[in-house]
Amino acid sequence: MQGTVDGFSYGMVTPLTAYVMACLGAALGLRCVTRSLHDDRSWKPGWLALGAASIGCGIWTMHFIAMIGFQVEESDIRYDVGLTVLSLLVAIAVVGIGVFAVGYRGAGTTTLLVAGVFTGLGVAAMHYIGMAAIRLNGGLRYDTATVALSVLIALVAATAALWAAVAIRGFLTSLGASLVMGGAVSGMHYTGMAAVSVHLHGAVGGPGTGGSAHSLLLPMLIGPVLFLVLAAVVVMFDPLLVLGDGDWNRTASRRAPASRTDRPAWSGGSAFEPPPRRVSPGGESRSPGSGP
């Protein structure tokens, strides 16, 4: 017996919320990758790790917010806790491989393609491991061609996103790239969901094993969402992440007093990297902008 699948049981609330989370994770992740590439003073491993975690958490959060709207009319749905957590770890780890490859090997065509493949596979692996966590009174079956299309979307989206992280520095253009990536990730998810059909086992209405959708997913979403919020706070306090390297340099040059050529210009830096200090003629150490 084939089950009746509804992927939009809450209307457009879950798709729109999921899309926003995917865009937020992509925006934070891409800015962190940009930060590591265009500022030699930054702590590269830290920014790349933050970028990979942001993208991974954004993708995972997007997926499971969308899955809150997934229902099968004839059966309760539950989720295996171990596989649900594993899907998050796989997303961060595999995306991290692509992010670190670009961060350390540069923006060559081969590197971008290889990194894009790894990152895209991370997106797809997270999705299908998350789907494997579903427990219901039946089994899931997939249309092979539609699954292949969803994986292709993930690969193209990931490669384009990494290219954007390398090529785009300005805030507005990077924001646009994040919106596109969020749309591609959401498109990959719903393309993969279109491949799903449910075949029920015997009696209708039997529950699966594990935690129910709401009792498990809602509490588990709290952690990744809080992480994305904290990552956003880090971005807000870092001018190079907000404005982009080129934009910040132009802003700094406009603010520098033209009559004081002896004062070194601060190129922006992170909120956690203080500006260089200068020594006055009397031997007193001063920060730029602290007075004559």
pLDDT recorded at residue 16: 92
Q: Is the pLDDT of residue 148 over 90?
A: yes
List the beta bridge partners of residue 139: 199
* Residue range 34-73, pLDDT digits in tens: 777 776 666 888 888 988 898 889 889 999 899 988 988 8
Q: Is the pLDDT of residue 273 over 60?
A: no
Q: Write out the H or E segment, with its range, that includes residue 115.
A: helix 109-132
* Residue range 162-186, pLDDT digits in tens: 787 777 666 677 778 788 888 888 9
Q: For residues 79 and 94, what is the distance between their CA atoms, to the nearest angstrom?
A: 22
pLDDT recorded at residue 132: 93
Q: In terms of residues, how long is the chain? A: 292
91 CB neighbour count, 10 Å cutoff: 31
Q: Is the pLDDT of residue 147 over 90?
A: yes
For 133-200, give the DSSP string.
Answer: TEEBSEEEEE-HHHHHHHHHHHHHHHHHHHHHHHH--SHHHHHHHHHHHHHHHHHHHHHHHHTEEEEE
131 CB neighbour count, 10 Å cutoff: 19
pLDDT recorded at residue 214: 58
Degrees, nearest 5: CA angle 197-159-240: 125
pLDDT recorded at residue 229: 80
pLDDT recorded at residue 144: 94
Q: Is the pLDDT of residue 254 over 50?
A: no
Q: In the structure, what pLDDT confidence band is assigned to residue 145 with cuts at 50, 70 and 90?
A: very high
* Residue range 209-247, pLDDT digits in tens: 444 455 666 667 777 878 788 777 766 666 555 554 444
Q: In the structure, what pLDDT confidence band is assigned to residue 192 with cuts at 50, 70 and 90?
A: very high
- What is the pTM for the complete model shown? 0.74
Q: For residues 261 and 291, what is the distance between their CA atoms, to the nearest angstrom?
A: 14
Q: In the structure, what pLDDT confidence band is assigned to residue 286 with cuts at 50, 70 and 90?
A: low
Q: Is the pLDDT of residue 203 over 80?
A: no
Q: Is the pLDDT of residue 251 over 60?
A: no
pLDDT recorded at residue 119: 84
**If you average pLDDT over residues 153-169, what whole number do you get?**
79
pLDDT recorded at residue 5: 87
**If you average pLDDT over residues 120-135, what whole number do you get?**
90
pLDDT recorded at residue 142: 95
- Closest by CA to 63, choosing from 22, 93, 107, 34, is 22
Domain boundaries, the chain: 5-243
CB 70 within 8 A of CB 77: yes
Q: What's CA 32's distance to the chain center, in Å?
A: 11
108 CB neighbour count, 10 Å cutoff: 12
Phi and psi for 262 in degrees, rounded to 5? -85, -5
pLDDT recorded at residue 190: 94
- Closest by CA to 62, choosing from 19, 91, 8, 16, is 19
58 CB neighbour count, 10 Å cutoff: 32
pLDDT recorded at residue 129: 94
